[in-house]
Amino acid sequence: MTAVLHALSDETRLSIVRTLHAEPDGRACGTFPVNLAPSTLSHHFKILREAGLIRQEDRGTQRWTVLRRPEFDARFPGFLNAVIAATEITPARS
């Protein structure tokens, strides 16, 4: 759990997890809505992989990242939903 909490403590990694949460089939590595150098993004992916949150697989000529939702939910039921709900960006109220 410590590795998971560390992985989710960074806004970029949290953004990656939120994106994958909304896309169950995953996403090609170069298409995430982040403005980072590829080496920096690779570092974030590594931390998420080591925490057990994502897996990466080759599909044709692209590398895809997939949230390991079923496995994670089996270990920590409801945790990902709670994190996503608590960190969703809501518009400012006037």
Condensed to tens digits (0 to 9), the pLDDT of residues 67-84 reads 999 999 999 999 999 998
Q: Can you tell me the distance from the alpha carbon of 28 to that of 5, in angstroms, rounded to the nearest whole number?
A: 24
The string of pLDDT tens digits covering residues 4-42 is: 999 999 999 999 999 999 998 999 988 898 889 889 999
Q: Which helix (H) or strand (E) holds 58?
A: strand 54-59
Backbone angles phi, psi at 54, to 5 degrees: -130, 165
For the domain made up of 2-87, give the CATH fold. Answer: Arc Repressor Mutant, subunit A (1.10.10)
What strand order describes the sheet that includes 62-67?
27-28, 62-67, 54-59
DSSP code, position 1: -
